[in-house]
Amino acid sequence: MTILALLLIPLLASAVTVGLRNVRRMELVYLLSAAGSFVAALWLAADVLSAGPVTLAGGFFYADHLSALVAVLTAFVYLVSAPYAVGYFRSDEQQPASAISARKLREYYALTPLLGFSMFLVVVSNNLGVMWMAVEGTTLASIFLVTFYGRGTSLEAAWKYAILGGVGLSMALFGTVLTYYAAHEVLGGESLSVLNWSVLAASAVHFDKTVMRLSFILVLLGFGTKAGMAPMHTWKPDAYSEAPIPVSALMATAVVNCALYAVARFYVLTGHALGTSFASQLLVLFGLLSVGIAVPFILVQRSYRRLLAYSSIDHGGIMVLGLGFGGPLGALGMLLHMTFYSVTKPLLFFCAGNAQQQTGNDSLKRGPGGLLHSLPVSAPMFLLAALALTATPPFSMFQSEFTILRAGFAAQRVGAVILFVVLTVAIFCGFFYHVANLVFGPPSAGPRGESSRWKTYPVIVLSLIVVVLAFWLPAPVYALIDGASRILVIQP
Amino acid sequence: MFWQDPQFGNKLITMMAALVLVLQIMMVAQRWLVTNIRAFGVQSFLLAAIAATIAHFNHAPHIYIVAALTLVFKAILLPLVLERMVTKIEMQQQMEPFVNVPVSVIVSGLLTLLAYVVAESFHRPEEASGMGHNTLDVAIALFLIGFFMMVNRRKALTQVLALLCLENGLFLAAISLTYGMPLIVEIGIFFDVLVATLLLGILIYRIRETFDSMDVSRLSRLRG
């Protein structure tokens, strides 16, 4: 039942919003749907924690610890970005040259819950075909969120996003077809359940090795495109810098999580069929490539919106690296990183959004600097979030990256670990240099003070959570992460 | 009777699959957009026919539904919509590929060869009698040539066409390997493809309004 609630709340919100004309009511429906989804996701997690995997409709929907964790993280980002979005668009409307109409806002308030619905469907669908459809759904729902401002550059970003996403997902579908073929040979029958993950995972040991090898390559490339892995990452900086901030925050965390969730599901199947070494090698390769490709672009970046996008390519790579190192530590490190990342990244986006709306541009070079004087709350939090995101101790991402490092040593991939440390340090230097330049410096002309409570409170709440997480991870959350990581460990 | 003989069915499928491949290379080779769209329509029609043949000889009625969907949406509806778009926005009918036509055809030939090598690894002697298994090579070739078309074309609409060709390759692979995905999944994929084409169409209109051009190579202001 909780699964149904999780799916129906955003879907209903989207349907209701289409019929509304009053922007205040749209905001209300949107806020309610965010709160409702979060409650439903927590409920689902509680069910899973107390009674194990939940199924619905004869196994068509299936939620284990991994699904519940990703659902909670998705719902969390959706929840915190909701009040921020309200403030963000109200500020946008007040801009003198703003072209934001009620119609435009209805597009946002109707499409974002649809994006949420697709993401929840990704994590609760047992059927790999349906999961693919849901991932495609996240692309379809977000194309017109990227073009929200209707500038030439946003159309360009949306076009790249749609075409690259389409090509990538067609590869993922091919991989899914091949997995179905491998399962079909073993399990036989035309029934829908042959594509169910819970059924596949139980019998994957007998699958044809050649087919599964090709299938995993295609799936990794396909869902990897969606997660923004190098070298298929080129749409990412464009889309993140053109979309409105709440959309960027959702895409950079929740959508990436969902794509990596899909990769992880196939990783388990491939691991059962082939042993872990083949999949691990590919994952480590792509992970390192993503972290590495982010380095030069972060060092010489001119726009802080794009800086955040490259950092999300970097963190996607780190999570894939954790999965690739494998073993109990690798899986745990990946999921811890996913959790901490989903809390920290929206904070950075919100601070960046406040700065951009205050100064009117997102440039790092000709920007005024001295944000500390004009934004008394967002600017210091920007600095704090940048420290947290670059895994400075004592912040929690240091713990997760350290766990991944230990997993790398346990897997005896010393070369990869050393390379990873070097690249991460380079990213820390570049990222911190840029953000420090932005925050400090002489005060500039222009408006002073935070412009809206709607935009300030989410920043304060998220900062508190980031600081608390550095010292204390609540026991149920850890239980969920731990349970999920056990699913990703493949016994030889 | 010959229409009950699986041998005959197999030959029929092989012939249609060969035609599908020929059509794909024709799309690469010729420069007129409308002809390209029609070739895509005929290709989809042949795919529907292949699906129907497999449904007939394997007594798998659910594949008939898939065949009918392909016929209605991909062979008739999508080509009509795309052609209307071409006339409505009065774009130039030439393709303007990055690589010239002779080289493109040679590349397609090489990709077909590659597809045969990949499909070889799926070949199992004990399944040689399986209906339609010999079309996997064609499916992979369609997929690869679709990729090539995607990177070789400048116009926004032709990239959409390349995406649809990729999807046709996928459809053929699913049909030839497993006689189609489960029905719900198959219908879902159809729905996704339709919505994607629709959204890309709207996006093309907006690009056309803003840039006064459909040349995607002009979309290059975002860098670094």
Higher pLDDT, A176 or B190: A176
Which run of H or of E encompasses A406? helix A396-410
d(CA A58, CA B25): 45
The DSSP bridge partners found for residue A54 are: A63
- Chain B residues lying within 8 Å of A143, measured CB to CB: 199, 203
Q: In b/e form, how buried is each residue of A299-336, taking b as 16+ CB within 10 angstroms?
A: eebebbbbbbbbbbbbbbbbbbbbbbbbbebbbbbbbb
- Look at residue B90 in the predicted model and tell me its pLDDT: 62
Higher pLDDT, B2 or A163: A163
Please name the residue of chain A whose CA is at the shortest distance from the CA of residue B163: A167
C-alpha distances out from residue A47 to A33, A68, B81, B178, Å? 21, 9, 48, 37
Asked if the structure places residue B52 within a domain, the reply is yes
- Look at residue A416 in the predicted model and tell me its pLDDT: 93
- ipTM confidence: 0.89
For the stretch A182-204, pLDDT in tens is 888 888 766 777 888 888 888 88
Asked if the structure places residue A335 within a domain, the reply is yes
For the stretch A295-319, pLDDT in tens is 999 998 888 899 999 999 999 999 9
Is the Cβ–Cβ distance between B12 and B49 less than 8 Å? no
Of B188, B199, B220, the CB nearest to A143: B199
The share of chain B scoring above pLDDT 90, in percent, equals 16
Asked if the structure places residue B157 within a domain, the reply is yes
Residue A321: which pLDDT band, with cuts at 50, 70 and 90? Answer: very high
- Look at residue B224 in the predicted model and tell me its pLDDT: 65
d(CA A355, CA A434): 14
Asked if the structure places residue A395 within a domain, the reply is yes
- Look at residue B127 in the predicted model and tell me its pLDDT: 54
Asked if the structure places residue A356 within a domain, the reply is yes
Please name the residue of chain B whose CA is at the shortest distance from the CA of residue A196: B182
Asked if the structure places residue B223 within a domain, the reply is no
Full residue range of the structural domain in which residue A414 is found = 287-492
For the stretch A361-380, pLDDT in tens is 788 776 667 788 888 888 89
**Is B199 in contact with A297 (Cβ distance < 8 A)?**
no
Least reliable range by pLDDT among A166-175, A478-487, B9-18: B9-18
Is the Cβ–Cβ distance between A401 and A338 less than 8 Å? no
- Look at residue A175 in the predicted model and tell me its pLDDT: 92
**Is A177 in contact with B147 (Cβ distance < 8 A)?**
no
Neighbours of B71 (CB within 10 A): 18
- Chain A residues lying within 8 Å of B184, measured CB to CB: 127, 129-130, 192
d(CA A181, CA B117): 19
Residue B61 has pLDDT above 90, yes or no: no
Asked if the structure places residue A208 within a domain, the reply is no
- Chain B residues lying within 8 Å of A178, measured CB to CB: 177
- Look at residue A315 in the predicted model and tell me its pLDDT: 95
Residue A149 has pLDDT above 90, yes or no: no
**Is A177 in contact with B174 (Cβ distance < 8 A)?**
yes
Of B118, B166, B222, the CB nearest to A238: B222
d(CA A86, CA A457): 12
Calculate mean pLDDT across residues A52-80: 92
**Total domains present in chain A:** 1
Residues 6+ apart with CB under 8 A from A189: none
Asked if the structure places residue B163 within a domain, the reply is yes
d(CA A178, CA A169): 14
Is the Cβ–Cβ distance between B201 and B81 less than 8 Å? yes
d(CA A290, CA A372): 32
Residue B203: which pLDDT band, with cuts at 50, 70 and 90? Answer: confident
- Look at residue A397 in the predicted model and tell me its pLDDT: 93
Neighbours of B205 (CB within 10 A): 14
C-alpha distances out from residue A117 to A110, A432, B159, Å? 11, 35, 29
**Total domains present in chain B:** 1
In this structure, chain B runs to a length of 224
Structure pTM?
0.92
Closest by CA to A184, choosing from A169, A202, A172, A200, is A200
Is the Cβ–Cβ distance between A287 and A417 less than 8 Å? no
Asked if the structure places residue A10 within a domain, the reply is no
Calculate mean pLDDT across residues B19-48: 90
Closest by CA to B85, choosing from B154, B33, B150, is B33
Of B177, B179, B203, the CB nearest to A143: B203
Q: How far is A167 from chain B (nearest CA, A)?
A: 7
Is the Cβ–Cβ distance between B15 and B8 less than 8 Å? no
The tokens describing A371, both together, are: 């944000």
- Chain B residues lying within 8 Å of A139, measured CB to CB: 196
For the stretch B115-140, pLDDT in tens is 888 888 776 655 544 566 678 888 88
Calculate mean pLDDT across residues A472-476: 92
Closest by CA to A66, choosing from A216, A198, A228, is A198
Burial class (CB in 10 A: 0-12, 13-18, 19+), A460: middle
- Look at residue A95 in the predicted model and tell me its pLDDT: 76
Residue B94 has pLDDT above 70, yes or no: no
Q: How far is B2 from chain A (nearest CA, A)?
A: 27
**Is A156 in contact with B220 (Cβ distance < 8 A)?**
yes
Q: How far is A460 from chain B (nearest CA, A)?
A: 32
Mean pLDDT of chain A: 90
Residue A411 has pLDDT above 80, yes or no: yes
Q: How far is B91 from chain A (nearest CA, A)?
A: 18
**Main-chain dihedrals φ then ψ at residue B32, nearest 5 degrees:** -90, 130
- Look at residue A370 in the predicted model and tell me its pLDDT: 79
Residue A86 has pLDDT above 70, yes or no: yes
**Is A177 in contact with B156 (Cβ distance < 8 A)?**
no
- Count chain A–chain B contacts defined by CB atoms under 8 A: 126
Least reliable range by pLDDT among A181-190, A210-219, A241-250, A424-433: A181-190
Residue B92: which pLDDT band, with cuts at 50, 70 and 90? Answer: low
For the stretch A91-116, pLDDT in tens is 888 877 666 788 888 999 999 999 99
- Chain B residues lying within 8 Å of A129, measured CB to CB: 181-182, 184-185, 188-189
- Chain B residues lying within 8 Å of A140, measured CB to CB: 192, 195-196, 199
Higher pLDDT, A13 or A491: A13
Asked if the structure places residue B222 within a domain, the reply is no
Neighbours of B12 (CB within 10 A): 17
Residue A385 has pLDDT above 90, yes or no: yes
- Chain A residues lying within 8 Å of B60, measured CB to CB: 190
Please name the residue of chain B whose CA is at the shortest distance from the CA of residue A307: B224
Least reliable range by pLDDT among A172-186, A230-244, A460-474, B204-218: B204-218
For the stretch A422-450, pLDDT in tens is 999 999 999 999 888 888 877 777 777 77
Asked if the structure places residue A375 within a domain, the reply is yes
Q: Characterize the bridge pairing of strands A61-63 and A54-56.
A: antiparallel
Burial class (CB in 10 A: 0-12, 13-18, 19+), A360: middle
Residues 6+ apart with CB under 8 A from B181: A129, A177, A180, A195, B174, B189
N-terminal to C-terminal alpha carbon distance within chain B: 66
Using DSSP, state whether A95 is helix, strand or coil.
coil
Q: Where are the beta strands (DSSP E) in A277-370?
A: none
Identify the contact set of chain B against chain A, taking CB-CB distances under 8 A: 60, 62, 118, 121-122, 143, 147, 150, 156, 159, 163, 166-167, 170, 173-174, 177-179, 181-185, 188-189, 191-192, 195-196, 199-200, 202-203, 206-207, 210-211, 216, 219-222, 224
Full residue range of the structural domain in which residue B62 is found = 2-123+130-217
d(CA A108, CA A244): 9
Burial class (CB in 10 A: 0-12, 13-18, 19+), A263: buried
- Look at residue A270 in the predicted model and tell me its pLDDT: 92
For residue A175, which amino acid is it? G
The DSSP bridge partners found for residue B32 are: B94
Asked if the structure places residue A28 within a domain, the reply is no
CA atoms within 13 A on the CB side of A58: 3
Residue A11: which pLDDT band, with cuts at 50, 70 and 90? Answer: very high
Chain-centre distance of CA A238, in angstroms? 16
Task: Give the DSSP letter string of A278-298.
Answer: HHHHHHHHHHHHHHHHHHHHH
Asked if the structure places residue A146 within a domain, the reply is no
C-alpha distances out from residue A307 to A342, A363, A392, B38, Å? 17, 10, 18, 45
Residues 6+ apart with CB under 8 A from A476: A45, A46, A49
